[in-house]
Amino acid sequence: MENNIYNPEYVKGLFNEMSSSYERMNFITSFGFTIRWRRQFLEQFDQPKHKAEIIDLLTGMGETWKATKNKLPNSNLTVLDFSDGMLKYAKQKSKQKFDNEINVLQQDVLKNELSSSHYDFVTCAFGLKTFNAEQLQILAKETKRILKVGGQFSFIEVSKPNNKLLKTLYGFYLGQIIPVFGRLLLGNPEVYKMLWQYTNKFDNAKNATDIFAQTGLTTNFNSYFYGCATGFYGTKTEE
């Protein structure tokens, strides 16, 4: 399993299994900070003068949609994920809370069929950790490809804090306590132990920031709450 954790089919199966409880677990895992972070990582976006096209990659159950619509109300929102389980709940959310206005796509972001130079904004919250360096390079190239010139992007991921004590406590919480909640909510604590394994290997978004910058995107690193989450944002300035 150690050598297989970045295999797309393995990742899909993992999130399919977690889908029934993932939104609650995400809230618990971050002590509720994910709600705030989902707002904060969109703050760098400029307000467009026209009806904007937005795509939310690795959308999960649609946890970022409300923050996105609040930040960019005059927009068409398309969302993408490859997990059947996650999209089952995402489609329910689109119907019940967004009047089916969200365009939900089931695709692998690394092998997608999205139009080139089509989107004004690309967002992605808490999905980076499931990619290795080679996959991040593909993700960066795809982000650049689908963005319009002048288009903006923002990514965020749970990370290992900078402070040693906080890092130790956070690691214990994610690695030991969260699986207990997983057992109560899901019945399989091993699935939720994987979240810390991914976070531990990911460390923070600095490497991903460099990979995106290498594609020619203008990229800025960002840190949230002592490094408990990190990310990057920027602009496509040229084809």
Residues 166-171 have a mean pLDDT of 72
Percent of the chain residues topping a pLDDT of 70: 86
Domain 2-161+204-235 part of CATH 3.40.50.150? yes
pLDDT tens-digit profile of 139-155? 999 999 999 999 999 99
Q: What is the pTM of this model?
A: 0.91
pLDDT band at 30 (very low <50, low <70, confident <90, very high): low
pLDDT band at 231 (very low <50, low <70, confident <90, very high): very high
pLDDT tens-digit profile of 84-122? 999 999 999 999 999 999 999 999 999 999 999 999 999
Give the residue, 20 or 86, on which the prediction is more confident.
Answer: 86
Given the structure tokens 């057992």, which residue do they identify?
A: 183
Domain definitions of the chain by residue range: 2-161+204-235
